[in-house]
């Protein structure tokens, strides 16, 4: 019963007044920056880092963690209400969430996002506490070949995100991967497709693409169809979920929690894969799969839960190995080191207050977020009642400031304009932006792992089949690819034949 004792100790730490206060502050700040498009947790945490110097280490890390998962919560709000995804995970949320909002079910979408996230967060926290060190071994057993196959599988199934033609959506994935190649090549340091522009040497900005192709393009499309706008601002709908919606969401939340908890452990890419892995799953097996594309609640419940579970379990590599899984975690390592604490396997023994206090505070933070966010839903949904002519300039300005503040560079603003126009063109041609964004994120990672795997295997491609993890993933990818393409090709052939006959 060590776990219970330890957790009890953790709660004793997390529930002191000071730590509760800073957990709350972190959650509120996190929610606020999550709601603002463009401004992410990385920028905010780096701004607030100096403030934490004066606090005890435990308090500091509790607050930073609060910002991190608060931002995840807040991010889904803008994704659902305004079709503005601030990060990869919210791209998936826009697909069904925004459609739900347009049907007048914004309240239900926001509620299930909050409730599902809370449930997933609770499960994931217990998982971190109970078997963190064990799960570390899973993360360590993933070699470059396995990562490559995982990313490849991710790309193949991301075509499922498509609402229309599979060929066009795989095409958009390929376009995203190609776009991801812009910038400095990790392996050689060479500049690719940068045209000598220093701003492009770190690649095209994700936020610029997302803001342009989702946010700006959506504004333009809404302005073109006044009738859609009046629907938008007229229907607020009931805030609560119906019994039917709730019943459909529960299994999605459960599945999302499992997917997210497992993928979150893998540093680099795991968390990004989790939300649309869950989306893909819901779209294939949930009861409401025929409603996907028109605002299915499972498409919000699953990915949101997966995303939050992953953001909790992504602490595992940090806590057990001292290795940050993403940029936010890297900042937290920095904060700990400045405090004179060395994250790593010995942290559990050396800093039990910090370790168990942080884990307990994750749950406390999730509870706080639920308490903060549920009453806010009513206010958020009322925002939709604001006339669109006042709404769109505001969205535009918030996007512009957010994009600019990423690097304090107007180049990013112009980049967003270009992607806005391209996004508009794509939506006219029914080329979908979501698969492109996923390709953009996963493509460079896939390249990196592919090349590293080949370097380490001395050029022997058998490594992808010899390693069991990799082989299984490639197998699934192959089956999925065939299953997706066959009906499409057959359909094309049929119509070709009909044409001939």
Partner 1 sequence: MSWTLRRRSLLAGSALAVAAAQQARAQSGAWPSQPIRLVVPFAPGGTTDLVARLLAAGLQERLGVSLVVENRAGAGATVGSEMVARAAPDGYTLVMSNIASHAISPAVYRGRIRYDAVTDFAHVALVVSNPTVWVANPRAGIRTLADAAARARSASGLDVATSGAGSSNHLMVVRMGQLVGRELNHIPFRGAGPAMQAVIAGQVPMMSDSLPSSVNHIRQGSVIAVAMASAQRHPAFPDVPTFREQGFDLASDSWFGLSAPAGTPPAVVERLNRETRAVLADPAIRARFAELGGTPGDMTAEGYGEFVRREVALWAPLVQASGATPD
Partner 2 sequence: MKLNTKDIISGAILIAIAVVGLWLNMDHNMGSARRMGPGYMPFLALAILGGLGALALFFGLFNGPDPLARWTSQEIIFLIGGAVAGTAAGLVAARMGGWPAAGWNSLGIGLFVGCLVPSIVKSWRPLFLISAAFSLFGLILEPLGLMAAIALSVILSAFADETHKPVGVVGLVAFLCVLCYAVFIYELDIRVPVWPQF
Enumerate residues 146-205 that contact partner 2 by CB under 8 A. 165, 167-168, 170-171, 174-175, 177-178, 181, 185, 187-188, 190, 192-193
Q: How far is the CB of 192 from partner 2 (least distance, A)?
A: 6
Smallest distance, partner 2 to C-beta of residue 355, A? 31
Pick one of partner 2, partner 1, none as the site partner of residue 33 (Cβ within 5 to 8 A by kind).
Answer: partner 2
Please say which residue, 38 or 260, places its beta carbon nearer to partner 2: 38
Return the exposure string of 350-364: e unless at least 16 CB atoms fall within 10 Å of the residue's CB, then b: ebeebbbbbbbbbbb
Q: Which of 438, 405, 365 is nearest to 71 (CA)?
A: 365
Alpha-carbon gap, residue 121 to 113, rounded angstroms: 12
* Smallest gap from residue 141 Cβ to partner 2 (A): 24
**Residue 498 region by backbone torsions, left for phi larger than 0, else alpha for psi between -120 and 50, else beta:** alpha
Show Cβ contacts of residue 368 under 8 Å, excluding neighbours closer than 6 positions: 23, 24, 27, 66
CB of 163 to partner 2, least distance (A): 14
Residue 337 binds which of partner 1, partner 2, none (CB < 5-8 A, kind-dependent): partner 1
In the bound state with partner 2, the residue whose beta carbon lies nearer, of 17 and 195, is 195
Judged by CB, which is closer to partner 2: 131, or 405?
Answer: 405
Q: Which is nearer to partner 1, 34 or 343 (CB)?
A: 343
DSSP letter at 386 equals S
* Contacts of residue 143, Cβ cutoff 8 Å, sequence gap at least 6: 453, 456, 467, 470
Name which of 192 and 287 has its Cβ closer to partner 1: 192
Residues that bind partner 1 (CB under 8 A): 24-25, 28-29, 32, 42-43, 45-46, 49-51, 53-54, 140-141, 143-144, 184-192, 196, 198-199, 201-202, 267-268, 317, 321-324, 327, 330-331, 333-334, 337-338, 340, 342-346, 407-409, 448, 452, 455-456, 458
Give DSSP secondary structure letters for 78-115: HHHHH---SSHHHHHHHHHHHHHHHTT-HHHHHHHHHH
Binding at 338: pick from partner 1, partner 2, none (beta carbon under 5-8 Å per type): partner 1
The DSSP secondary structure of 163-229, one letter per residue, reads SS-HHHHHHHHHHHHHHHT-EE-TTT--EES-TT-GGGGG-S-HHHHHIIIIIIHHHHHHHH-HHHH
Q: Which does 170 bind (CB under 5 to 8 A by kind): partner 1, partner 2, none?
A: partner 2
CA–CA dist 84, 87 (Å, integer) = 9
Give the CA distances from residue 55 to residues 17, 28, 360, in Å, rounded to whole numbers and listed in that order: 14, 18, 19
Instruction: State the binding partner of 220 from partner 1, partner 2, none, CB within 5 to 8 A by kind.
Output: partner 2
CB of 29 to partner 1, least distance (A): 7
> Do residues 160 and 284 touch, judged by C-beta distance below 8 A?
yes
At what angle are helices 88-102 and 226-234 packed, to 10 degrees? 90
Does 224 help bind partner 2 (rule: CB under 8 A)?
yes
Partner from partner 2, partner 1, none binding residue 2, C-beta < 5-8 Å depending on class: none
For residue 346, the 8-state DSSP code is: T
Candidate ranges 1-9, 301-309, 345-353, 389-397; the one touching partner 2 (CB under 8 A): 389-397
Tokens 């629907």 map to which residue? 231
Q: Which of residues 398-427 bind partner 2 (CB under 8 A)?
A: 398-401, 404-405, 408-411, 413-414, 416-418, 420-421, 424-425
- Which residue, 481, 446, 476, is CA-closest to 145? 446
- Residue 424 binds: one of partner 1, partner 2, none (C-beta under 5 to 8 A by kind): partner 2
Nearest to 160 by CA among 276, 247, 239: 276
User: Which is nearer to partner 1, 112 or 332 (by Cβ)?
Assistant: 332
For the bound state, the minimum distance from the C-beta of residue 277 to partner 1, rounded and expressed in Å, comes to 21
36 contributes a contact to partner 2 by CB under 8 A: yes
- Considering the rule CB under 8 A, would residue 37 count as an interface residue with partner 2? no
CB of 111 closer than 8 Å to CB of 244? no
User: Cβ of residue 128: shortest distance to partner 2, in angstroms?
Assistant: 30
């Amino acid at each position: 019963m060590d776990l219970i004792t330890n957790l009890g100790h953790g709660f004793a730490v997390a529930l002191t007044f000071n730590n509760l206060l800073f957990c709350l502050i972190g959650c509120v700040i996190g929610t606020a920056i999550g709601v603002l498009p463009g401004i992410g947790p990385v920028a905010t945490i780096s701004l607030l880092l100096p403030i934490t110097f004066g606090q005890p280490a435990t308090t500091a890390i509790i607050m930073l963690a609060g910002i991190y998962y608060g931002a995840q919560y807040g991010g889904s709000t803008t994704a659902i209400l305004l079709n503005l995804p601030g990060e990869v995970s919210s791209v998936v949320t826009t697909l069904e969430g925004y459609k739900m909002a347009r049907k007048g079910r914004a309240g239900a979408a926001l509620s299930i996002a909050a409730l599902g996230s809370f449930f997933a967060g609770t499960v994931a926290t217990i998982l971190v506490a109970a078997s963190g060190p064990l799960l570390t071994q899973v993360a360590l057993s993933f070699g470059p070949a396995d990562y490559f196959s995982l990313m490849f599988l991710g790309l193949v199934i991301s075509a499922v995100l498509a609402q229309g033609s599979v060929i066009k959506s795989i095409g958009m994935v390929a376009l995203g991967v190609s776009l991801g190649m812009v910038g400095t090549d990790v392996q050689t340091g060479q500049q690719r497709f940068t045209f000598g522009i220093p701003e492009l040497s770190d690649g095209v900005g994700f936020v610029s693409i997302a803001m342009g192709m989702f946010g700006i393009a959506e504004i333009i499309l809404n302005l073109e169809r006044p009738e859609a706008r009046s629907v938008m601002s007229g229907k607020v709908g009931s805030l609560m979920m119906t019994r039917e919606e709730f019943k459909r969401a529960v299994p999605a939340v459960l599945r999302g929690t499992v997917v997210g908890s497992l993928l979150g452990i893998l540093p680099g890419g795991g968390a990004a894969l989790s939300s649309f892995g869950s989306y893909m799953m819901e779209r294939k097996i949930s009861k409401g799969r025929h409603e996907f594309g028109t605002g299915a609640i499972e498409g919000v419940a699953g990915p949101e839960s997966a995303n939050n579970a992953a953001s909790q379990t992504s602490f595992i590599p940090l806590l057990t190995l001292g290795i940050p899984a993403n940029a936010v975690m890297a900042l937290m390592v920095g904060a700990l080191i400045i405090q004179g604490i060395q994250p790593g396997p010995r942290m559990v023994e050396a800093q039990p207050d910090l370790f168990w206090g942080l884990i307990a505070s994750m749950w406390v933070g999730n509870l706080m977020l639920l308490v903060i966010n549920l009453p806010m839903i009513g206010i958020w949904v009322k925002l939709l009642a604001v006339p669109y002519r006042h709404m769109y300039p505001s969205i535009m300005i918030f996007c512009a400031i957010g994009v600019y503040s990423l690097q304090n560079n107007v180049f990013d603003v112009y980049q967003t304009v270009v992607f806005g126009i391209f996004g508009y063109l794509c939506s006219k041609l029914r080329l979908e932006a979501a698969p492109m964004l996923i390709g953009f994120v996963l493509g460079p990672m896939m390249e990196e792992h592919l090349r590293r795997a080949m370097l380490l295997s001395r050029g022997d491609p058998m490594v992808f089949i010899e390693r069991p993890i990799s082989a299984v993933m490639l197998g699934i990818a192959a089956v999925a690819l065939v299953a997706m393409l066959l009906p499409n090709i057959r359909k094309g052939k049929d119509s070709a034949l009909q044409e001939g006959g």
